[in-house]
Structure 1
């Protein structure tokens, strides 16, 4: 078995003679208080002056995302580096190795901040992730600087090699910092990828909305699993040990969250089978209404009373569902009256049928029908059956309009109803 290739070590004072000379000369300047104060004045003054200039320029670019991003990332270090270069024109007054070292470190910050700006311009993270990315660029710069000087200072070297025990995993400070630094960038890329795949699926005209939702959730889960595995690998966490830990954790969570897991699995089944779709009129568990929204975990149904009912998806796979919109959007409604036993049923049915046909929302195909559905000592039950294809616009309202029209026609023609 061959050993895995190791990443090249960062530049150190032992492997870079030029850097060794710069640091040695800088330490010589530090031993002289006057030169040290003058150097600190130059470096700090350059940074503060640059920050003030950027603060004046920034309001003019608030509506230009690309320029504002480059300004936030690069303007201060680039201006500071420029001012330090200008101070070098004064000759011996400000020409010392400590300023050269400061310029080198600021140039390194420019390079790291440039990488952060490229990531932000490419993937457009959210405000929270954008703030984290900008903080990480500064922390990464400090991390690289400490690594460069780590071989010379035993305290810094000991800091990076410190062992930490987290949930049974042994990690070094270096691994933790690597994971945190890379984790922010990986999360930004994963969020961008998740959003891009979702938009790509939604633009596909050949896929049903249920398939789009199910596939986008599956791709999202796979992408986040890959992102977490990459973060763990960079952090030095043994994935084999993590698998054993996840197995034990999964058993415990499975016992406590089995209903939630069943809802997610049932949601994928419902979305792929398309037994229920957005816009369908369904009845389940004494809930009757129109499906207005579907997620992997739940389905939202708007009842005839205008109330939103949230139904877990596992109930849609374990209970009987009456889907009134499975084959088409036509929905049959029934309204009836009880008339006296001596009523002319032919005339009453004709008037009732005319009242139903007069409504704009009542479909003519299939046509409405009238039936005698019951005869008893109280009277004769007449029921009208009709269809509509827009139940989302209400059902009680069209029934109410039909009753109003029927009552007016019955009064004009002397047809009396039975008091119940």
Structure 2
């Protein structure tokens, strides 16, 4: 809109709001100057000195009682973690706790021995520190450090303004700083309210999601993939409702989101194909239950077990401790070997050869007996041994056996079976041939 086309009533409203804000700021500055000047009065200066003395006493008490309390906490080995966590929070806030207790004791004594006006500053300090301490303990219930910091500092600011009777002036100043967006007006007060309301609703949504996720994970009737899908659905639903409700409660007009959604659609068409493909592939994987947490898979050169299913990728941990983050799209479009998809039984094959001088019937019996004696090899699915060919220097065999714990490793179980074959063959004089070559040194012909 051209500046000349702005209605005069809007210009006048903005000018009045700005003039009112300047008046509020001037009033606050005047109150601050008056307060600083009042500190020079005898009784106010005495109260400031009392506050400093109480701080010194609180520091001394923390220095005296802090180490014994910490030693006592260290001796509580059998206590639950939540109780130890509360004790740790209390130990870190010993100075503030001692200060709050001491300042209220001083306020009680001052009210008894002198006039109420002589303890006015002490009461304000006591109320502020008590409210701050209460906010600290309440916000510890929020697990996210980022959300905890936002809620804590926001609550500290609010209770400070409320106790100092500056809330109305602050609201007026924040509301006067803003601009018009069509028929709506966006002010700094609206932004602050939106952040606080949305943050509070997100904290509630996070708590509800965590509680519901714990119950879903304890439900043994649901498969792991369905548990992950249900948890993801709840997260998207609760967080979406929290953001939408927060914006609506703040008074922000959401009709403009239609334009934003169109812009997002254009962005998806140009640069977010892979992201969307991985998100859709993740939903497909959860729905068709092709893989789930705990499955052992092979994808190309990667062999390991599924650690977690994410919205964009799957975490696969290998036997050497490496964690591969494989995009969900690769698990849909590539050939994946799932060693534990329908059941946990895995058959392994090893090859070996013996001399033509050994009886093949005896070799087969000894090989089967050796495999049965190896831990992890199943006995109810008995190993089998077959001749697969007559080589140049050996009779070739294949030994097949079954296991039910591929997460325990495949190379190590093959190695253990090979060692069992070696020991059994040596005890029964079964020879394992190997290529032998004869080198002849020819005399050099005479000239």
Compute the displacement of 1:43 (Å): 6.1
Q: Distance in 2 between matches of 1:89 and 1:239?
A: 60
Compute the displacement of 1:254 (Å): 6.2
Given candidates 152, 158, 177, the residue that maps to 2:192 is: 177
Q: Distance in 1 between matches of 2:240 and 2:259?
A: 16
Given candidates 204, 207, 213, the residue that maps to 1:198 is: 213
Q: Distance in 2 between matches of 1:385 and 1:34?
A: 93
Paired position in structure 2 for 1:120: 139
TM-score w.r.t. the length of structure 1 is 0.71
Compute the displacement of 1:163 (Å): 0.9
Q: Distance in 2 between matches of 1:310 and 1:217?
A: 18
Given candidates 168, 180, 188, the residue that maps to 1:148 is: 168
Compute the displacement of 1:332 (Å): 0.6
Quote the RMSD (CA, aligned, Å). Answer: 4.5
Compute the displacement of 1:215 (Å): 1.6
Q: Distance in 1 between matches of 2:224 and 2:55?
A: 50
Q: Are the structure 2 counterparts of residues 114 and 173 from structure 1 closer, same or farther at C-alpha, using a change threshold of 3 Å?
A: same
- More displaced, 276-285 or 218-227? 276-285
Is 1:134 the equivalent of 2:121?
Answer: no
Q: Are the structure 2 counterparts of residues 134 and 200 from structure 1 closer, same or farther at C-alpha, using a change threshold of 3 Å?
A: same
SS of alignment partner, residue 419 of structure 1: coil
Q: Distance in 1 between matches of 2:105 and 2:180?
A: 41
Paired position in structure 2 for 1:363: 378
Question: Given that residues 349 and 400 in structure 2 are in contact (C-alpha distance below 8 angstroms), is that contact kept between their aligned partners in structure 1?
Answer: yes
Q: Are the structure 2 counterparts of residues 380 and 165 from structure 1 closer, same or farther at C-alpha, using a change threshold of 3 Å?
A: farther
CA shift digits 1:277-303 (9 cap, x unpaired):
333232233433333443343333344
Question: Given that residues 346 and 404 in structure 2 are in contact (C-alpha distance below 8 angstroms), is that contact kept between their aligned partners in structure 1?
Answer: yes
Paired position in structure 2 for 1:413: 429
Q: Distance in 1 between matches of 2:248 and 2:332?
A: 39
Question: Given that residues 302 and 308 in structure 1 are in contact (C-alpha distance below 8 angstroms), is that contact kept between their aligned partners in structure 2?
Answer: yes
Question: Given that residues 112 and 137 in structure 1 are in contact (C-alpha distance below 8 angstroms), is that contact kept between their aligned partners in structure 2?
Answer: no
SS of alignment partner, residue 140 of structure 1: helix
Paired position in structure 2 for 1:267: 282
Q: How does 1:18-417 map to 2 (within 5 A)?
A: 37-38=41-42, 40-41=44-45, 44-45=48-49, 48=52, 51=55, 63=87, 76=100, 79=103, 83=107, 86=110, 90-91=114-115, 95=117, 116=135, 119-120=138-139, 123-126=141-144, 129-141=147-159, 145-149=165-169, 157=172, 159-164=174-179, 171-249=186-264, 251-252=266-267, 255-303=270-318, 307-340=322-355, 344-375=359-390, 377=392, 379-411=394-426, 412-417=428-433
Compute the displacement of 1:52 (Å): 5.1
Q: Distance in 2 between matches of 1:183 and 1:75?
A: 34
Q: Are the structure 2 counterparts of residues 236 and 127 from structure 1 closer, same or farther at C-alpha, using a change threshold of 3 Å?
A: same
Compute the displacement of 1:174 (Å): 1.6
Q: Are the structure 2 counterparts of residues 57 and 74 from structure 1 closer, same or farther at C-alpha, using a change threshold of 3 Å?
A: closer
Q: Distance in 1 between matches of 2:47 and 2:191?
A: 31
Q: Distance in 1 between matches of 2:412 and 2:39?
A: 89
Q: Are the structure 2 counterparts of residues 229 and 404 from structure 1 closer, same or farther at C-alpha, using a change threshold of 3 Å?
A: same
5+ unaligned residues in a row in structure 2: which ranges? 1-26, 71-86, 437-447
SS of alignment partner, residue 385 of structure 1: strand
Q: Distance in 2 between matches of 1:276 and 1:163?
A: 52
CA shift digits 1:76-113 (9 cap, x unpaired):
5994797399369645xx749xx87x799779868976
Q: Are the structure 2 counterparts of residues 253 and 139 from structure 1 closer, same or farther at C-alpha, using a change threshold of 3 Å?
A: farther
CA shift digits 1:184-219 (9 cap, x unpaired):
433433332332222222233332332222222221
Q: Are the structure 2 counterparts of residues 309 and 149 from structure 1 closer, same or farther at C-alpha, using a change threshold of 3 Å?
A: closer
Compute the displacement of 1:139 (Å): 1.7
SS of alignment partner, residue 255 of structure 2: helix
Question: Given that residues 51 and 122 in structure 2 are in contact (C-alpha distance below 8 angstroms), is that contact kept between their aligned partners in structure 1?
Answer: no
Compute the displacement of 1:387 (Å): 0.8
Question: Given that residues 340 and 418 in structure 1 are in contact (C-alpha distance below 8 angstroms), is that contact kept between their aligned partners in structure 2?
Answer: no
Question: Given that residues 182 and 231 in structure 1 are in contact (C-alpha distance below 8 angstroms), is that contact kept between their aligned partners in structure 2?
Answer: yes
Q: Distance in 2 between matches of 1:269 and 1:56?
A: 62
Paired residues, number: 383
